[in-house]
Amino acid sequence: MKTKQGGRLLAPSILSADFASLSESVAKVAPYSGLIHVDVMDGHFVPNITLGPVVVEGLKRTSSLPLDCHLMIEAPDRYIADFAKAGAAFLSVHQEACPHLHRTIQRIREEGMRPGVALNPATPIETLDEILGEVDFILIMSVNPGFGGQKFITSSLGKVRGLKNKIAAMGLGVKVEVDGGVNRQTIPPLLEAGTDWFVAGSAIFGAPDPGAEAKSFKEMIDG
Ligand code: DX5
Ligand code: ZN
């Protein structure tokens, strides 16, 4: 029998929720969630446009869960203070969007949030070697960012494994979050690879009963 691992969390992504009743959607999954994942897209870094600090501020008033904001935007430094003010607890920026990543991470921390770095599927984990000691989490994209409901890219499992090994070898407490195509089929291999935080959008909010689906995912994750 597997021993229970501490620190594993389900992070439903509201991208696939009904935006006409966002607070109800969040309330349905909240009992099973450790974080609420919020996808911010600017139409430049990724082809899609979603939401900004105004919506984060609304979510903050509707739920006491920590808001995990994933910035898929160019030059994210411009908005760090706005997201802090809106109530984001965790803020991830893309390695590919930040030429001065170390400085960006420091700014996120200075604003009182927990910093993370997100990696596109084609970006190797070795690009994080110099920043691992500065972050609270790494977000491994297991689909190309921009849309919900895409197919899981299997090579992401090797990236999670490699990253977990590096983190352990360095004696760090950095969490590994996986985002994209997380569902009933992909949760077991992701658990095996050592994933800490599981982001799931369409698999939860596209289900007939999102609350029941989140409950069942949480049970799988807790083991
Ligand atoms: C994609 C976003 C994801 C998205 C995942 O760019 O970063 O958070 O909501 O959606 P699913 O779970 O449907 O793959
Ligand atoms: Zn995301």
The atom number, within ligand 1, closest to the CA of 37 reads 8
Query: Buried b vs exposed e over 45-70: b needs ≥16 C-beta within 10 Å?
Result: bbeeebbbbebbbebbeebebbbbbb
In the structure, ligand 2 is a single-atom ion and the residues with CB under 5 Å from it are 39, 70, 179
Q: Catalytic site residues?
A: 39, 179
With 0-12 / 13-18 / 19 or more C-beta atoms within 10 angstroms meaning exposed / middle / buried, residue 78 is exposed
Edge-to-edge strands of the sheet including 197-200? Answer: 9-12, 197-200, 175-179, 137-141, 114-119, 90-94, 67-72, 36-41
The confidence score (pLDDT) of residue 52 equals 98
The mean pLDDT value for 3-25 works out to 89
Question: What's the 76 CA to ligand 2 centre distance in angstroms?
Answer: 15
* Rounded Cα–Cα distance for residues 188 and 193 (Å): 9
Alpha carbon separation from 89 to 30, 39, 65, 111, 121 (Å, rounded)? 16, 14, 9, 10, 25
Two structure tokens written together for 39: 């996808």
Domains held by the chain: number: 1
In a domain, 99, yes or no: yes
In a domain, 4, yes or no: no
What DSSP character marks residue 99? Answer: T
The model scores a pTM over 0.85: yes
Query: For 51-106, how does the pLDDT look when each residue is reduced to its tens digit (9 = 90+)?
Result: 999 999 999 999 999 999 999 999 999 999 999 999 999 999 999 999 999 999 99
Q: What is the CATH number of the domain that holds 94?
A: 3.20.20.70
Q: Is 12 in the pocket of ligand 1 (CB under 6 A)?
A: no
* Rounded Cα–Cα distance for residues 83 and 96 (Å): 20
The mean pLDDT value for 105-118 works out to 98
Q: Is 145 in the pocket of ligand 1 (CB under 6 A)?
A: yes
The atom number, within ligand 1, closest to the CA of 46 reads 6
In a domain, 66, yes or no: yes
Q: In this model, does residue 27 exceed pLDDT 50?
A: yes
The atom number, within ligand 1, closest to the CA of 48 reads 6
- Domain region containing 177: 9-222
In a domain, 100, yes or no: yes
Q: Find out whether 157 and 190 touch, Cβ atoms under 8 Å.
A: yes
In a domain, 38, yes or no: yes
Alpha carbon separation from 171 to 82, 166, 174, 177, 194 (Å, rounded)? 33, 9, 9, 18, 15
Closest residue by Cα to residue 36 from 53, 19, 13, 54: 13
In a domain, 192, yes or no: yes
Question: Ligand 1: which of 150, 151, 183, 204 to mutate, most ligand atoms within 8 Å of CB?
Answer: 150
pLDDT band at 128 (very low <50, low <70, confident <90, very high): very high
Query: For 129-178, how does the pLDDT look when each residue is reduced to its tens digit (9 = 90+)?
Result: 999 999 999 999 999 999 999 999 999 999 999 999 999 999 999 999 99
